[in-house]
Amino acid sequence: MIHADFIRRDEQIVAFEMDGHANFAEQGADLVCAGATSIAFGMVNAISEKMGIEPVMEEEDGYLYYSVPEDLEGNEVVQILLEGMEHQLISLAYSYPDYITINSKK
């Protein structure tokens, strides 16, 4: 199962962590894993390109941690992108509740 955690400070998303494998299908054919990965990396790339920065993240097989740079915490564009990502993952979890969970930590 994929677990996605959104970490907030003062109601703003400051980081997210995603780990695990959906195991919906075999590797290379797992639509849930591909969807979650595309959503997460798409948002990290969108923030990087829109804000002109390199992402601050850790990644390895089945694990991704992204931290918003301190000087961008609370930035409206960054927050809209991260909240959009959260809602996309929630939609994916709604359709595939046995394969992905979303948590929001304050």
pLDDT at 106 over 80: no
The residues pairing with 9 across neighbouring beta strands, listed in sequence order, are 12
Percentage of the chain lying above the pLDDT 90 cut: 83
The pLDDT tens digits for 47-64 are 999 999 988 889 888 899
Task: Give the other-Cβ count within 10 Å of 28's Cβ.
Answer: 7
Which of the four pLDDT bands, split at 50, 70 and 90, describes residue 104?
confident
Catalytic hit among 22, 33, 64, 81: 33
Question: Do 61 and 52 contact (CB within 8 A), yes or no?
Answer: no
Q: What is the third-level CATH fold of 2-105?
A: Alpha-Beta Plaits (3.30.70)
> What DSSP letter does each residue of 62-84 carry, written as one string?
TEEEEE--GGGTT-HHHHHHHHH
Q: What is the mean pLDDT of residues 32-50?
A: 95
The pLDDT tens digits for 68-82 are 999 998 899 999 999
Residue 106 appears among annotated catalytic residues: no
Catalytic hit among 21, 41, 56, 65: 21
Residue 37 appears among annotated catalytic residues: no
